[in-house]
Structure 1
Amino acid sequence: MQFLKKFSPFYNLTLFYISVSFILRIVLLFHPITQSTFVWTDTIKIFTLGLISDFFVFTVLSGFLWLYLIFISNSKYLKPTGYIIFGMLVVLFLYVAFGNTILNEYGGALPKIGMIFIGLKTLLFGLLLFLPKYRSKIRFWLFTFVLFLFVVLILQNAISEYFFWNEFGVKYNFIAVNYLVYTNEVIGNIMQSYPVIPLFTGLFIIAGIVTYFVVKRSKNYIENIPVFAEKIKISGIYLTLLGLSLSVIPFLASKEDSQNIFTNELQSNGIYKFYLAFIHSELDYFKFYKTIPNAEAYALLKQQIPDISDESTLRYIKSNAAENHKNVVLITIESFSADFMKTYGNEQNITPFLDSLSTKSLLFTNFYAVGNRTVRGLEAVTLCFPPTAGESVVKRQDNKNKFSTGNVFKQKGYNVKYLYGGDAFFDNMQDFFSGNGYGIVDKKSFLPSEITFDNIWGVCDEDMYTKAIAVMNQESKENKPFFNHIMTVSNHRPFTYPNNKIDIPGDAKSRDGGVKYTDFAIKKFFEMAKKQPWFANTVFVILADHCASSAGKTELPVDKYRIPAMIYCPGFIEPQKYTKLMSQIDIMPTLFGLLNFNYQSKFYGQDVLKTTYQPRALIATYQDLGYIKDNILTVISPKQQVKQFQLNLKPNQKVAQDFQIYYEQIPLVKERKDLVDETISYYQTASDLLKKKKYQKQ
């Protein structure tokens, strides 16, 4: 019985969590949005299997409490152990505060967070070490604070689940994950939508009262700290329960199989649902977005993409001229907004080479990225596919053997590779590209002698381009054309790059410096490429993966999606400007048209140089799906919401007409239903094809 008291912090918090979950289920069951009738078996499932699931989920979450409690002891403060540990903590703090750690390489707030965390740990350890008379009191208040945090998080989660249900009628899904991605926007929305101060005041008062009783029933743990043997027993019991939880939780989730959707949602554990949403990264279009009959959606799509057949995008692309199997190098530039370039109004001269190259290229002046993350850009140029709700296909489990640009090149006998200066494991790139037939060249492929500079994201762009030249020189000896997709990394926070390359120091961590160095590195690449025998037979496609920033006054600020794009091949492609509206998904089908490729296509992207092309662009976040046409932006969102905006140009007198990018987005008074239906046709059919696995390679 005495030993069981050692578990008091665990079972008191578990009891509180299960009680809160029970009350939450009752509240959600009778919520006005829960418009359903429940039979008695549904109710039993909700309150039995649901509460059992809660127990095991909280067992997993208790791992943090276990780690904290298991290290509470007096022995570590004895001489000389305590002084050695304190000295190590001081050295670690000084290193993080003044040294060039990996946290500094990443930049942002991470170095400060690391310094604060280690500083507090050092301070508290010092107080417990040097003030033995007050050790018990200090430990008691630390213990109280830890339990208070658990109570606050339990209550906060319940409140969050309630408001999420209030808005969407479900437990957490990918929209909740998305909220973590757009933290600033979400916090702003919460501040404007809810009485935050009274809400959190009440939360902390209730949490304080609950903590008082939890601490009162649990303080025997620190008043009589378990000895080493008891801690071993506690750990054994906890780890056994943890192992059991990891198998029971998914089993119980598989029992959420009622025909009544509300039963399944109420039975589920919100935290586990959040975890599943984070892992699977999908948002069910047909459950959350406005739909039309599938046959109608495909019929509308056929009006936009001629020659597609049945409920698919399959069609045959035929050229009237002989195919040209030139080498192709696709460069996607990290975070490169159109307004970085002089032609779009920038007066800082930070892209002199690309400004010059654009005058010698087929330049697409009215070009939009599909999203605001690298994986969206990679998805767009690789799959030529709309940005479906949730995470990019690149990061989904079902991301292999898709119909891709690499697949088309392989059918034509090309070597196909993806080259990236960082670790391709990041953002699931390696899994995606290798699963779609690409060879991978990333930082792991570099010899130490090939790296002159690197940061947390990978080697600098110059090193990547030097490696790319070596790869292409080797490929050119294989008597077959090559397609190499290069993804840059230097124009990314922390914006560090080699010093003495441009007039902005590499350690200044400047956005302008990152852009200018990116431009400088591309210039060096072309200087090296022009000396190679394969250069004259190579087409270069250059565009951004997305803009530098996506924040704006509306859900989809169109200027935050405008990016530069050009195709360069002197002697083969005449310099000119293509001024019609187009999307990132169109760039590769347009290139295939220039090369006169004959192939079966499933692409949503089109050859914009054909007379059948109807100008439009697709732009999206993880949940807001947009469609630009006729100077109107249509946005479809969860909860079957639809918004439309008239795009009125805000002219810049210093910029040519073809390069104007800023628009006032005025809510449309009268709905353009034809554009709403067209928008739905793109996104609904894309979701349908993915769901039915009909976008696989042939």
Structure 2
Amino acid sequence: MFKKVPNYVRYIMTNFLAFFIYAGLFRLIFYISYANLEQASFNEIKTALSFGVRFDIKLSAILIVPLTILVLIFNDRFFTKKACKYVANIYLSLSFLCITLFYFFDFGHYDYLNTRLNASSLRFLSNLKISLQVLIQSYPIFKITFALILLSIISSKVVSLFYKRFNSANNKTATKVKVYYVFFLLLTLSFSIYNSFTHYPLRWSQAFFSKNNNVNQFALNPVLYFFDSFKFRNEGVDIVKTKRFYPAVAKELNLSIDSLNFKRTFSFSKDTLKNQPNIVIVMLESVGVVPMSYFGNPIKTTPKMDSIIKKSTLFSKFYVHKAGTAASVFSSVTGLPDVDGVRTASRNPMVIDQRIIFDQFKDYRKLYFLGGSANWANIRGIFQSNIKNLEIYEEGSYNSEERVDVWGIDDYDLFREADLKLAKVNKTNTPFVAYIQTASNHMPFTYPKQKDSFKPFTDNDISKKELEKAGFDGIKRLNALKYLDFNVGKFLERTKKSGYYDNTIFLFFGDHNTSMHATTNFKKEFDLGIQANHVPFFIHAPKYIQPKVISKFTKLVDIFPTAASIAKTPYTNYTLGANALDSTKTNNFAFIFNISNGEPSLALLKNDFLYSKKIITNEVHLHKLSGESLEDYKNELPEITKSMDSLALGYYHATKYLYLNNKK
């Protein structure tokens, strides 16, 4: 049977297997000499090894693709042309050499910094002479060089041997059979690169599943990890500017100005609360203030949440830092704004390791619920590597697995499944902190024709003119919001029946506003480009805080400090958020990072002003938030402009500093 396989197909698969075995040998060396997994459990090591093998398979498949293209172009003529022989042998020899070099540098890098090789290592090239001296003085460079040469010779000989072996193979295969084998080859390589049975491919963030950093490092493949982190190589820290503008941030957050230090410890009397309250944080997908009827939308879009808000503490001037779901999840969990100008901070492997408040709820069960996969936007890494004993519930974890669209199960089933799990935890008399990430109010806006008391609007109910006046571009977007509103109300009804409503603090926030036209109520924000950032944030906990409206500026990174403070849970805050309910703190501003005309831009809301500054061109604007005029006051009010500039830059540079200096 094997002899019927075309020799060029066997040639490709043999070299693919050789790459995999070669990477596996280096993984074994790393495990024996560097991994330091004495404190890791057997299950952690097994999981890390499983991910590691998958990463090695992915690398092997990627490396073999160029050779596969060459072979398939020439087909049976591949072994008859000398040029093909030389190109193939040179490419494969260089590939093995590159892998060897990567692993050699990776071993040294890990030995030096206890982290796998990544793009930040390129900084050593800026002082090449010093780096070479350190290398020569720290490592047996001559032995390493000899080993490199020896391995290069061996791999080159093996490559030549493979070519000769399959060149001499004389098998005749029918064209139809060849097509089947080629199809199987391409399918195998494609799956090896995708490397997942889920809706998301294998990603670097999946390696960061453990609180034990050594386990996570063992799971990585340094070649893939290097290029995954390469796109973020310029995310450096300007320590001079960080220190220069730090006093402006320190003043707002009541920090010491004597040194660059963001650490604040909070403790509470043991008798403050008899029982430890539960915490449930609900991220409301694509919900801003503009589409909500509570904030004046002419269509009764959110009757359930309107009613809940009236019995809650509402922060009417709450802004997310960056308009995007992944960015908001990252910021709400880490306490740091997402200031990545290319993609999202959650996708940056250099900032995955953070000290966060979510991890500090002692004796609490910690849970994360979403309808789809936690591999989305590499969110898994943010949660799992920073929160000890976190329980992630995602597609494949639920009793109900009716996947309605790309985002997995819909919000009705998500809330139901979350309630069932939380009810079980509550029966154990163990407090919990849960993060529920909704998704139905997102394109493609999937909602049922009817669900319990929910019925969507029809074209007969709402005219196009009414939709346009309310800011909606279509009835599907309106109905998706109405469905989310229904599910929020239904969720609280379930919690009451499940018995944990009274002893739970519910925090609801929008991750960003949905795409809306300009409306009468928020036209100024639309014109200033901050409508997408203005979202609802309300805390529903009748047993713990009285309903009221707080009109000071608050921001996304304030969520967890606020939740921990209400629950009277001792915590240490290392980042930029603050308790939004603490009236003794100034902390009355909001920070926004967005892209303005293709350029990264900072914005700061404070008092009655919006200050904005483009990072590259330094173009500055100062607008009043009140009134209808879009007049620029930067020249008329230079002192306010300067003050807000210092705070905006201080917050921005402090964020970048903490990305790399807030590690566990």
Is contact 1:541–1:566 with CA below 8 Å preserved after alignment? yes
Shift of 1:374: 1.6
**Is 450-459 or 358-367 further displaced after alignment?**
450-459
Tell whether 2:552 aligns with 1:580. Answer: yes
**Which residue is 2:113 aligned to?**
none
2:502 partner SS: helix
- Tell me: CA distance 1:554–1:676, structure 2 relative to 1, closer, same or farther (3 Å): farther
Shift of 1:484: 0.3
In the alignment, residue 495 of structure 1 is paired with which amino acid? F
Matches within 5 A, 1:226-245: 233=85, 238-244=91-97
In the alignment, residue 266 of structure 2 is paired with which amino acid? I
The one of 410, 415, 419 aligned to 1:469: 419
- Tell me: CA distance 1:666–1:420, structure 2 relative to 1, closer, same or farther (3 Å): same
1:580 partner SS: strand
**Which residue is 1:301 aligned to?**
249
- Tell me: CA distance 1:515–1:396, structure 2 relative to 1, closer, same or farther (3 Å): same
**Which residue is 1:218 aligned to?**
none
**Which residue is 2:346 aligned to?**
394
**Which residue is 1:494 aligned to?**
444
Distance in 1, Cα, partners of 2:93 & 2:285: 46
Tell whether 2:265 aligns with 1:316. Answer: yes
Distance in 2, Cα, partners of 1:299 & 1:256: 29
**Which residue is 1:567 aligned to?**
539
2:512 partner SS: coil
Tell whether 2:565 aligns with 1:617. Answer: no
% of aligned pairs identical?
Answer: 23
The one of 367, 376, 384 aligned to 1:417: 367
Distance in 2, Cα, partners of 1:281 & 1:74: 40
Shift of 1:550: 9.6
Tell whether 2:495 aligns with 1:523. Answer: no
Matches within 5 A, 1:632-671: 632-639=609-616, 641-649=618-626, 664=630, 666=632, 668-670=634-636, 671=638
Distance in 2, Cα, partners of 1:515 & 1:632: 31
Shift of 1:517: 1.5
Is contact 2:356–2:573 with CA below 8 Å preserved after alignment? no
Distance in 2, Cα, partners of 1:328 & 1:235: 59
**Which residue is 2:58 aligned to?**
none
Distance in 1, Cα, partners of 2:526 & 2:290: 19
**Which residue is 1:535 aligned to?**
501
- Tell me: CA distance 1:618–1:318, structure 2 relative to 1, closer, same or farther (3 Å): same
Shift of 1:393: 4.2
What are the Cα deviations for residues 632-682 of structure 1, in whole angstroms up to 9, with x where unaligned?
33334433725232134356xxxxxxxxxxx84736235421211122222
In the alignment, residue 651 of structure 2 is paired with which amino acid? Y
Distance in 1, Cα, partners of 2:531 & 2:292: 14
- Tell me: CA distance 1:523–1:583, structure 2 relative to 1, closer, same or farther (3 Å): same
**Is 316-325 or 629-638 further displaced after alignment?**
316-325
Is contact 1:326–1:537 with CA below 8 Å preserved after alignment? yes
TM-score, normalisation: structure 2: 0.61
Shift of 1:360: 1.2
Distance in 2, Cα, partners of 1:547 & 1:632: 21
**Which residue is 1:175 aligned to?**
none
2:387 partner SS: coil
Shift of 1:495: 1.3
Distance in 2, Cα, partners of 1:238 & 1:258: 26
What are the Cα deviations for residues 527-583 of structure 1, in whole angstroms up to 9, with x where unaligned?
211101212111110011122249999997122210011000223322211111111
Distance in 1, Cα, partners of 2:229 & 2:659: 19
Distance in 2, Cα, partners of 1:554 & 1:260: 48
Shift of 1:591: 2.8
The one of 371, 374, 385 aligned to 2:336: 385
In the alignment, residue 322 of structure 1 is paired with which amino acid? T
In the alignment, residue 302 of structure 1 is paired with which amino acid? A
Tell whether 2:600 aligns with 1:628. Answer: no
2:261 partner SS: coil
Matches within 5 A, 1:104-253: 233=85, 238-244=91-97
Shift of 1:422: 0.8
**Is 449-458 or 233-242 further displaced after alignment?**
233-242
- Tell me: CA distance 1:286–1:246, structure 2 relative to 1, closer, same or farther (3 Å): same
The one of 309, 327, 352 aligned to 2:278: 327
- Tell me: CA distance 1:370–1:550, structure 2 relative to 1, closer, same or farther (3 Å): farther
What are the Cα deviations for residues 589-622 of structure 1, in whole angstroms up to 9, with x where unaligned?
2233333344332231122332222310011137
**Is 378-387 or 535-544 further displaced after alignment?**
378-387
In the alignment, residue 356 of structure 2 is paired with which amino acid? S
- Tell me: CA distance 1:568–1:484, structure 2 relative to 1, closer, same or farther (3 Å): same
What are the Cα deviations for residues 226-273 of structure 1, in whole angstroms up to 9, with x where unaligned?
688889856565555555556679989977855489xxxxxxxxxx99
**Is 543-552 or 429-438 further displaced after alignment?**
543-552
TM-score, normalisation: structure 1: 0.58
In the alignment, residue 591 of structure 1 is paired with which amino acid? A
Query: Gapped runs of 5+ residues in structure 1?
Result: 1-59, 76-224, 262-271, 652-662
1:367 partner SS: strand
- Tell me: CA distance 1:621–1:440, structure 2 relative to 1, closer, same or farther (3 Å): farther
1:531 partner SS: helix
Distance in 1, Cα, partners of 2:359 & 2:78: 62
Distance in 2, Cα, partners of 1:305 & 1:327: 27
Matches within 5 A, 1:541-560: 541-549=507-515, 557-560=529-532
Is contact 2:276–2:431 with CA below 8 Å preserved after alignment? yes
What are the Cα deviations for residues 196-231 of structure 1, in whole angstroms up to 9, with x where unaligned?
xxxxxxxxxxxxxxxxxxxxxxxxxxxxx7688889
Distance in 2, Cα, partners of 1:423 & 1:577: 36
- Tell me: CA distance 1:277–1:74, structure 2 relative to 1, closer, same or farther (3 Å): closer
The one of 316, 319, 328 aligned to 1:368: 319
In the alignment, residue 483 of structure 1 is paired with which amino acid? V
Distance in 2, Cα, partners of 1:554 & 1:283: 32
- Tell me: CA distance 1:294–1:560, structure 2 relative to 1, closer, same or farther (3 Å): closer
What are the Cα deviations for residues 351-407 of structure 1, in whole angstroms up to 9, with x where unaligned?
221122111111111110111122221122212223334454433224455222312
Shift of 1:505: 8.2
The one of 458, 477, 492 aligned to 1:511: 477
The one of 273, 276, 290 aligned to 1:339: 290
**Which residue is 1:38 aligned to?**
none
In the alignment, residue 314 of structure 1 is paired with which amino acid? K
**Which residue is 2:650 aligned to?**
681
Distance in 2, Cα, partners of 1:236 & 1:299: 60
Is contact 2:410–2:440 with CA below 8 Å preserved after alignment? yes
Is contact 1:335–1:544 with CA below 8 Å preserved after alignment? yes
Shift of 1:461: 0.7
Distance in 2, Cα, partners of 1:666 & 1:62: 55
| Count of residues in Structure 1 that have an aligned counterpart in Structure 2 | 460
**Which residue is 1:479 aligned to?**
429
Is contact 2:241–2:653 with CA below 8 Å preserved after alignment? no
What are the Cα deviations for residues 40-73 of structure 1, in whole angstroms up to 9, with x where unaligned?
xxxxxxxxxxxxxxxxxxxx99988866665458
**Which residue is 1:146 aligned to?**
none
Distance in 2, Cα, partners of 1:404 & 1:607: 14
Shift of 1:510: 2.0
Query: Gapped runs of 5+ residues in structure 2?
Result: 1-60, 107-118, 129-222, 459-473, 519-524
Matches within 5 A, 1:45-84: 70-72=71-73
2:391 partner SS: strand
- Tell me: CA distance 1:667–1:299, structure 2 relative to 1, closer, same or farther (3 Å): closer
Is contact 2:503–2:543 with CA below 8 Å preserved after alignment? no
Is contact 1:350–1:512 with CA below 8 Å preserved after alignment? yes
- Tell me: CA distance 1:432–1:66, structure 2 relative to 1, closer, same or farther (3 Å): same
Is contact 1:285–1:684 with CA below 8 Å preserved after alignment? no
The one of 372, 378, 396 aligned to 1:428: 378
Shift of 1:282: 5.8
**Which residue is 1:156 aligned to?**
none
2:311 partner SS: coil
Distance in 1, Cα, partners of 2:233 & 2:602: 14
What are the Cα deviations for residues 280-338 of structure 1, in whole angstroms up to 9, with x where unaligned?
53643546xxx865444333322111144731111233557714621111001112121
2:484 partner SS: helix
- Tell me: CA distance 1:634–1:260, structure 2 relative to 1, closer, same or farther (3 Å): farther
